[in-house]
Structure 1
Amino acid sequence: MFFASDNSGPAHPAILDAMTRANDGYAMPYGADPIMDEVRAAIREIFEAPEAAVYLVATGTAANSLALATLCQPFETVFCSPVAHIHEDECNAPEFFTGGAKLTLVGDGDRMSAAALRRAIEAEETRGVHGPQRGPVSITQVTERGTVYGREEIAGLCEVAHGYGLPVHLDGARFANALETLGCSPAEMTWKAGVDVVSFGGTKNGCVGVEAVILFDPAKAREFELRRKRGAHLFSKHRYLSAQMQAYLADDLWRENAARANRNCARLAEGLRAIDGVTFQHDPQANMIFCAFPRAAHLRLHAAGALYYVWSGNLEGDDPEEMLGARLVCDWSIATQEIDRFIDLVRG
């Protein structure tokens, strides 16, 4: 019963098999391997972007930080939500890789609105050289609270950003989960809505460790290459990144894994909704649940060994009915029996 995070689950066997096949013989380093040529072509086809520049790195933090550094000057600010991964979970890596650009938090929730973004942008560049200059907008899709921006919401944010001449980055660590929720094409969720650069995640969706950075404007490609090398994220034995991404894209494995994770989450949510005393912050939209249930249920879970989820509050309190929060994340691999067992333990 492991619901801590989708990056805690196993790699898909097809990914491991691909890495083993790539281990045969010799291949040119630093992304010059022939597998990378196939990956680049496949991503361009999937995104309907034949001119896009495509690069691989091993971590989401590297993908986000290098992408933003390519879009942002050190005297600028990045606009993002208060719970964006680049703000809460990357140890100031975006600030480090951009050479000191700050983050400006927009709104008070996980999804920025176009109106709030406009207000935040207008509030900057009001102090001449004394204040931060306007920089890129970063959208997280799926958000860190498990919700999904609709295509119209993304387009609205991009319209505002582009109206001020600002580029838009999409942090897609859970890109495939969001796509399955929206039922649209990758192009429709990105460049057709106005997104300029995408961090296309694989690690949370069945890969060992690989993320793609897709720049729809190839004019930025050379700068990204230099920043990736200078930032120590250009792999020498790059073929093992390439092999992961190749297998991830083959036969739509990336979409199949995400669909399974979303279905697992829907099953878990349905079971929890049927239990008196369980409340939800909002309807789960992808593969993450934010809910609350009584301390007694948490204690039953822990006694049964279901320790691997994120909870908030003091488990040692006196009131068994006090509501404590829980974050539950489903990946592609979790068995339905484990989901049902978790539900049974919450029910008591």
Structure 2
Amino acid sequence: MAKQRSAATHLDPSFASDNVAGISPSILAALGQANEASAAPYGGDAVSAQLEEWAKAEFGAQAEIYPVFNGTGANVVALQAMLPRWGAAICSAGAHLNNDEGAAPERLGSIKLLPQDVPDGKLRPLDVEAELGALGFVHAAQPLAVTLTQSTEVGSLYSLEELEAVTATAHQHGMGVHIDGARLSNAAAALGVGLGEMTARAGADVVSLGGTKNGALAAEAVVVVNPARVSGLGFIRKYSMQLASKQRFISSQLLELFSTDLWHRNAEQANAQASKLAEKLRGLEGVHVPTAPSVNAVFPEVPLDMAARIQSRYLVHTWDTAPSGNPVLRLMCSWETTDDQIEALVGCAVSRRA
């Protein structure tokens, strides 16, 4: 069974996504500070300059950072800049880029995706090598980039060694490497590493750096680690409608989130709450949580009647169907998820009156 997305507006959205959380208080404060005086538009402001310095310190002296409005924009702008018109990007079949960006990659970016069927959402060197036969063949789109999702849509994580293996294979065959990092902070917190260590030092060329899911408001960025792998990104951002006139309001959020330990604290909280939720669900009769959460996503297999109770109260997606025939739900925790919210959901799952 394919994923079933609920869209009911009357249901509690607490576990529907990490996008349901609000804005971190210190980020709100940073927005207030950015609002105190006039500033040059389109990134010519002092806050954006500070953000650029942070990016160079974190990702390397050559790094460039381009704030954008949303993750779809970051991914599409990044891949457009990495690929010639005849190029294509290798991705996992389950990648957000392949399933949840509408038709943006194809319609707006003219990007051909080459999805690989991988069970855990993670590409491996063999998946990159599977597309090598197309290189130089004029009738095939050329595989010239690899895009990895960290953490993946199914909550799995690439280890540093796995990232390095894929990036090395891609580079060996002339391909650039992009990381879709909508939940990059959750991944880095789970692995106990810094953002630069998990991306630049693992071989990534371009990174979509997510902020919205971790406490920001409409604030994402494209980080170019290796400028030799992109062309015209600033122009592409403009014609893709991702260049903010009042960029300081995006830059101030990203600077507050990433130049402090806020990104780590928020991500660690979301990950910890997912572990807590999984443990409580695992104790319920008929519930199967196959593995402990790596990040802030929980995918429990639950009996049909329990799924019905939960989905009568909560906006929760059915992600898959288990071999038993029972639904697999996706439950997302955020930096704002409370113990009381977890207890309420567990109570709903077992209550016959829900």
TM-score, structure 1 length as denominator? 0.91
Asked whether the equivalents of residues 113 and 157 of structure 1 are also in contact (C-alpha less than 8 Å), the reply is yes
Within-5 A mapping of 1:115-194: 115-119=126-130, 121-125=131-135, 128-194=137-203
SS in 2 for 1:293: coil
> 2:82 maps to what in 1?
71
Residue 122 of structure 1 aligns with an amino acid whose one-letter code is: L
1:111 maps to 122
Aligned residue number for residue 234 of structure 1:
243
Structure 2 gaps of 5+ residues are 1-11
RMSD across aligned positions (CA): 2.0
Paired residue secondary structure (2:20):
coil
- CA drift of 1:222 comes to 6.3
Q: CA deviation at 1:266?
A: 0.6
Moved more, 52-61 or 184-193: 184-193
Match of 1:34 in 2: 46
Mapped to 2, the partners of 1:224 and 1:313 lie a distance apart of: 37
Cα-to-partner distance string for 1:110-157 (whole Å, 9 max, x where unaligned): 1112122212x223236x221111210000001011111111111111
* Contact 1:69–1:97, Cα closer than 8 Å, also in 2: no
TM-score by length of 2: 0.90
Q: How does 1:256-275 map to 2 (within 5 A)?
A: 256-275=265-284
**Aligned ranges for residues 31-70 of structure 1 at < 5 Å?**
31-47=43-59, 49-70=60-81
1:232-279 C-alpha deviation (Å, 9 max, x unpaired): 211111111111112212431111100000011010011111122111
- Per the alignment, in what secondary structure is the counterpart of residue 260 of structure 2? helix
Instruction: Indicate conservation of the 8 Å contact 1:53/1:221, yes or no.
Output: no
- Residue 330 to residue 130, structure 1, CA distance change in 2 (3 Å): same
Aligned counterpart, 2:3: none
Hey, what's the Cα distance between the residues in 2 that align with 1:300 and 1:229?
A: 46
In structure 2, what is the equivalent of residue 15 of structure 1? 27
User: Structure 1 residue runs of 4+, over 4 Å off?
Assistant: 219-222
**Quick one: percent identity of the two aligned structures?**
34
Match of 1:277 among 272, 286, 308: 286
The alignment of Structure 1 onto Structure 2 pairs a total of residues equal to 336
8 A Cα contact 1:86 1:92, kept in partner: no
1: CA distance, partners of 2:33 / 2:259: 15
Identify the residue that residue 344 of structure 1 maps to in structure 2: 347
| Unmatched 5+ stretches in structure 1 | 315-320
Q: Secondary structure at the match of 2:301?
A: strand
Contact 2:41/2:247 (8 A) holds in 1? yes
Measured after TM superposition, the shift of residue 322 of structure 1 is 6.5
